[in-house]
Structure 1
Amino acid sequence: MRIENAVMGRKGILQKIFLGSLVVHLLVIAVAAGYNKGLKIWPMPVSVSHGRGTLYLRNDLELRIDGRMYSDASGIFKDGFFRFLEILKGDHVFQTNISSFNSSLIIKAIHVVIVSPSDELQHGVDESYKLSVPMLGDPSYAYIEAKTVYGALHALETFSQVCYFNHSSRVIEIRQAPWIIFDEPRFSYRGLLIDTSRHFLPVPVIKKVIDSMTFAKLNVLHWHIVDEESFPLEIPSYPKLWNGAYSSSERYSMAQAAEIVRYAQRRGIHVLAEIDAPGHAKSWGIGYPSLWPSINCTQPLDVSNDFTFKVIDGILSDISKIFKYRFVHLGGDEVNTSCWTSTPHVSNWLKEQGLNGDEAYRYFVLKAQEIALSYGYKIVNWEETFVNFGSKLSRETVIHHWLRGGVVQQAVAAGFQCIVSNQESWYLDNVGTTWKTFYANEPLFNIRKPQQKALVMGGEVCMWGERVDGSDIEQTIWPRAAAAAERLWTPYDKVAKDTTEVTERLAHFRCLLNQRGVAAAPLTGWGRAAPMEPGSCYKQ
């Protein structure tokens, strides 16, 4: 394998790509229509044209990057290319001499044009790409054009899915060539939540989840870091907080958190940190008991104590140095204010402020929002905050829907952005929910006005941690998360209206995950079900 910077100028490269694409287009037009039924790409791209030919990938495939526009100084794309090669080659034994093959049918290199010189990853980054694999040319190249390096990484993933190792000839084949694929995501936010409070997930497990997300083109890891059960994250400003961890070995240092963010970013994945408050926060008081209303009534956090908000400020100050995604998740769900009204010193404070329990809940959420805004974050809150005091929220709030029907429609009508995670369809811990339900869930259900549709950022599948840890998280996530991933990536008019149309293709993707070392469960049965009987992976 060899990596080169292309010496050809942008104009020359684009002319060559255009001519190659034109040849591909003419060849594709020449073949009969109707071959898309045999496609095995997941998620389905925006536009796919292909033919009937077969090409062969050279073992020492070269990477040629046009250095005039994007230099890849950080090595993000080169690293992605190495991962691409590792996926393709696996543990196969290859034919060392392919000189017997027609040289014009051998793909010798991937030629890459990335327009933006920046590899900054922020919300809404352009993830589009064009992948061209022509049949003619000596030497033969595959071509990738993308606005950003992150679109180019998606192109590599798609390319990997049109390559097959032939065990008879012991070479990698590109079937159904030539190819022209244009692709871009339907939604800018395509998320997966993991929960490290209910069960601790070691860093290698989290990294493996991140890797698996790239295969389905998910782009946000929502890290629900802490909850009432445990507080595993180091907070230097308040070092006793992680006394609330299950044990001293079930903790994340700030360096480990930074490594997770870095690892994800280099794969085009944002990390959304969630610090849920004022409910779901019992673990905070293990190190700082004054955060509790009382020793016998431990949550929500004490709204009457200025120290509570100093701790929140310290947490957000510390995590803002590491978590650079535009958003932070402040939770705000399932708040029962009875601890406030029944604890004498808190109750007295409420009377002095002229607040009842619900009004104090609003006070807490808005004050936490102010702190987050001061660190440059936009805020995500669970839907209860909107249901309880909608228009009082900061206009920088994104409403995270999970519970009640109609909330998304109400929130976008009020001008708020939304993320969809309705629990009956996209909660992975509901193992009785099949992949077909995940696939059928439509984020824009009953939203008709274009300006309101634009406020739906996308959606997220949620892997709550009560019944998963490192031993079973992969088969609980996959392949059901992939079903949602296609709904979030593929245009509405390209998504199958009948799940029987995609069963074979999703089964193929599930087997592909297994081949890549991801413990994805069979499609048959419920989430994380075992195979029912002996048989081919593709029939399970």
Structure 2
Amino acid sequence: MGKMGSEMLIYVLLLMAGVLASGQSSQVNIWPMPASVSYGHTHLYLTNDFGFSSNYGSEILKDAFDRMLALIKLDHVIDANFSAFNSSSLLQGLHIVISSPNGQLQYGVDESYKLIVPSPEKPAYAHLEAKTVYGALQGLQTFSQLCYFSVTSRVLQIDMSPWTIIDQPRFSYRGLLIDTSRHYLPVPVIKKVIDSMSYAKLNVMHWHIVDTQSFPLEIPSYPKLWDGAYSPSERYTVADAADIVSYAQKRGINVLAEIDVPGHALSWGTGYPSLWPSKDCQQPLDVSNEFTFKVIDGILSDFSKIFNFKFVHLGGDEVNTSCWTTTPRIRNWLKKRGMNESQAYQYFVLRAQNIALSHGYEIINWEETFNDFGNKLSRKTVVHNWLGGGVAQRVVASGLRCIVSNQDKWYLDHLDTPWQEFYANEPVTNITNLKQQKLVIGGEVCMWGETVDGSDIEQTIWPRAAAAAERLWTPFDKLAKNPRDVTGRLAHFRCLLNQRGVAAAPVAGLGRAAPEGPGSCYRQ
């Protein structure tokens, strides 16, 4: 028998205390926890022809319902004799009412819903009401967590009926960053990440597409840019990108595209060397060259045809300007304009912002831009915090919006950050003014790609991203004061992800640790 780690011992003690779920139980095992939940004590069974009706004709809704049924069935064979069931306990379908005809997904879309699952003596239909189809999608995700395949009844079953769930997100922006420059992620891998995001009610996939290491995306306006890809097979065509955006939108997820300028852009010069300050000093992008801004304009013009989210991310972080001052041509350009390095950095960021604005985007920039010249940024800027605490306070005090991703708590590549810290990280810490709190539009966990690719990305994201997802969805007063109190429910959700084909790591470990030994999924 192997040595039992202290983490596993804690879990055994929790099991003995009845805290952890083992399959279905009287515990409410919904993740993230809804705003309002009431439930009973009886069982319902879904009929073999369980279907849905709606006042809203939409392929998005039909596809989402079909996916939900497949998630519940999990490839089990439904072979029950339905004639043996009490007819009053059979749930025949789900009636969905959507009040708004607008099917466009955009920032701030209403994601609220009300889900009612009746008691056995009531009519044999569950009801889902939502303002928009995207609220209905969130309701379907919740409904899918109420259902499970029972090996006893050999049918899809709902316990603890009747249910009444009234729900809406706390924050409009609930993001996950993926990085396809440090390692290329095949399209099927990206789609699996999108699927898993929808299970946890995350709604923005921040696509950090390019960086120093590679430029994998086709840009029709400047077709040599993707010469900076690692190889011809590690590239995304325009059609690939449009397909990813469409795939995400059908699941209620916006795709935020990022080009990080002027730093983190060495790969751009593989196809267009004139973007480099010099052959020997290759980044940041050449601030003195008009061609640099023509390329940025071309990229954002092409982006506007693919990425229809309200925002575009322009990066702006970690800019080492030494190449500008050590390259004689650029040094002379700066001198002629009376600029120092810091002023040139500001000039570059603000000019890139104006280009994005001309294409109809609002802008997200990393926090260094605010720290260096926050009062000069466009008022349509959202400042993306990552370096640490206290930044959000200063950003919203200035009247700008903020997204929180402080690296000490919400960077998934920090493998020693446990899920408890992801759960406890509060985006509006020390912001007491209600008007300023509303300027914190949400948060994002970041899966930087240096040490992940298609082989290990899922277990590095999950279940820690789920801990942050509840923080971003669930009302503050419904969140656990101590993360330990949600251990069993998170373990249950992690097992649900595994059942759905998502390679989520055990709750009991750090980061993407493997199970410590044999045992039930619910005890790991």
Would you call these one fold, judging by a TM-score over 0.5? Answer: yes
Residues 36 and 522 of structure 1: CA distance in aligned 2, closer, same or farther (over 3 Å): closer
State the 1:405 CA deviation: 2.5
Q: Which residue number corresponds to residue 450 of structure 1?
A: 434
Amino acid of the residue matched to residue 51 of structure 1?
Answer: G
1:184 aligns with 2:173: no
State the 1:71 CA deviation: 2.2
Q: Which residue number corresponds to residue 51 of structure 2?
A: 62
1:360 aligns with 2:349: no
Give 3-state SS (helix, strand or coil) of 1:123's partner.
Answer: coil
Q: Which residue number corresponds to residue 493 of structure 2?
A: 509
1:226 aligns with 2:210: yes
Give 3-state SS (helix, strand or coil) of 2:283's partner.
Answer: coil
State the 1:419 CA deviation: 0.2
Amino acid of the residue matched to residue 44 of structure 1?
Answer: M
State the 1:500 CA deviation: 1.5
Q: Which residue number corresponds to residue 451 of structure 2?
A: 467
Amino acid of the residue matched to residue 296 of structure 1?
Answer: D
Of the candidates 81, 84, 89, which is equivalent to residue 65 of structure 2? 81
Distance 2:60 2:160 in 1: 30
Structure-2-length-normalised TM-score: 0.95
- Once the two structures are superposed, the pairs formed by residues 114-263 of structure 1 within 5 Å of their partners are 114-136=98-120, 139-263=123-247
State the 1:413 CA deviation: 0.1
Contact 1:280 1:299 in 2 (8 A): yes
State the 1:92 CA deviation: 1.0
State the 1:60 CA deviation: 1.0
State the 1:89 CA deviation: 1.1
Contact 2:200 2:466 in 1 (8 A): yes
State the 1:91 CA deviation: 1.7
Distance 2:160 2:122 in 1: 19
Distance 2:26 2:440 in 1: 31
Q: Which residue number corresponds to residue 57 of structure 2?
A: 71
State the 1:37 CA deviation: 7.4
Of the candidates 262, 281, 287, which is equivalent to residue 297 of structure 1? 281
Q: Which residue number corresponds to residue 359 of structure 2?
A: 375
Contact 2:177 2:208 in 1 (8 A): yes
Query: Structure 1: any 5+ residue segments left out of the alignment?
Result: 1-34
Q: Which residue number corresponds to residue 484 of structure 2?
A: 500
Q: Which residue number corresponds to residue 273 of structure 1?
A: 257
Give 3-state SS (helix, strand or coil) of 1:502's partner.
Answer: helix
Distance 1:424 1:168 in 2: 46
1:41 aligns with 2:27: no
State the 1:274 CA deviation: 0.3
Contact 1:190 1:459 in 2 (8 A): yes
Distance 1:336 1:384 in 2: 12
Residues 44 and 138 of structure 1: CA distance in aligned 2, closer, same or farther (over 3 Å): closer
Amino acid of the residue matched to residue 527 of structure 1?
Answer: G
Q: Which residue number corresponds to residue 487 of structure 1?
A: 471
Give CA deviations for 1:339-384 in whole Å, capped at 9, x if unaligned: 0011000000000010000000000000000000000000000000
Q: Which residue number corresponds to residue 28 of structure 1?
A: none
Contact 2:312 2:364 in 1 (8 A): yes
- Once the two structures are superposed, the pairs formed by residues 349-428 of structure 1 within 5 Å of their partners are 349-428=333-412
Give 3-state SS (helix, strand or coil) of 1:51's partner.
Answer: coil
Residues 391 and 37 of structure 1: CA distance in aligned 2, closer, same or farther (over 3 Å): farther
State the 1:36 CA deviation: 11
Give 3-state SS (helix, strand or coil) of 1:42's partner.
Answer: coil
Q: Which residue number corresponds to residue 316 of structure 2?
A: 332
Amino acid of the residue matched to residue 57 of structure 1?
Answer: L
Contact 1:71 1:117 in 2 (8 A): no
Give 3-state SS (helix, strand or coil) of 2:399's partner.
Answer: coil
Query: Structure 2: any 5+ residue segments left out of the alignment?
Result: 1-23
State the 1:404 CA deviation: 3.3
State the 1:63 CA deviation: 0.9
State the 1:80 CA deviation: 0.3
Give CA deviations for 1:449-497 in whole Å, capped at 9, x if unaligned: 0010000000000000000000000000000000000000000000001
Contact 1:103 1:138 in 2 (8 A): no
Of the candidates 58, 66, 88, which is equivalent to residue 104 of structure 1? 88
Q: Which residue number corresponds to residue 522 of structure 1?
A: 506
Name whichever of 189-198 and 137-146 sits farther off: 137-146
State the 1:418 CA deviation: 0.3
State the 1:499 CA deviation: 1.3
Contact 2:42 2:161 in 1 (8 A): yes
Distance 2:475 2:26 in 1: 17
Name whichever of 463-472 and 402-411 sits farther off: 402-411
Amino acid of the residue matched to residue 213 of structure 1?
Answer: M
Contact 2:73 2:148 in 1 (8 A): no
Q: Which residue number corresponds to residue 18 of structure 1?
A: none
Provide the aligned C-alpha RMSD in A: 1.1
Give 3-state SS (helix, strand or coil) of 2:41's partner.
Answer: strand
Structure-1-length-normalised TM-score: 0.92
Residues 106 and 36 of structure 1: CA distance in aligned 2, closer, same or farther (over 3 Å): closer
Of the candidates 79, 84, 97, which is equivalent to residue 113 of structure 1? 97
Identity %: 69
Contact 2:178 2:207 in 1 (8 A): yes
Distance 1:400 1:435 in 2: 22
Contact 2:115 2:129 in 1 (8 A): yes
Contact 2:207 2:255 in 1 (8 A): yes
Distance 1:120 1:277 in 2: 30
State the 1:422 CA deviation: 0.2
Amino acid of the residue matched to residue 46 of structure 1?
Answer: A
Contact 1:198 1:229 in 2 (8 A): yes
1:346 aligns with 2:330: yes
Give 3-state SS (helix, strand or coil) of 2:62's partner.
Answer: helix
Distance 1:56 1:46 in 2: 26
Contact 2:258 2:314 in 1 (8 A): yes
Contact 1:103 1:139 in 2 (8 A): no
Distance 1:404 1:350 in 2: 32
Q: Which residue number corresponds to residue 16 of structure 1?
A: none
Name whichever of 97-106 and 282-291 sits farther off: 97-106
Distance 1:139 1:447 in 2: 47
Give CA deviations for 1:479-532 in whole Å, capped at 9, x if unaligned: 000000000000000000111210000000000000000000001121000000
Amino acid of the residue matched to residue 190 of structure 1?
Answer: R
Q: Paired residues, what number?
A: 501
Q: Which residue number corresponds to residue 42 of structure 2?
A: 53
Contact 2:334 2:344 in 1 (8 A): yes
Residues 53 and 37 of structure 1: CA distance in aligned 2, closer, same or farther (over 3 Å): closer
Give 3-state SS (helix, strand or coil) of 1:94's partner.
Answer: coil
Contact 2:90 2:120 in 1 (8 A): no
Give CA deviations for 1:37-73 in whole Å, capped at 9, x if unaligned: 711000000000000011111111021112xxx322x
Distance 2:85 2:411 in 1: 50
Distance 2:354 2:173 in 1: 24
Contact 1:106 1:139 in 2 (8 A): no
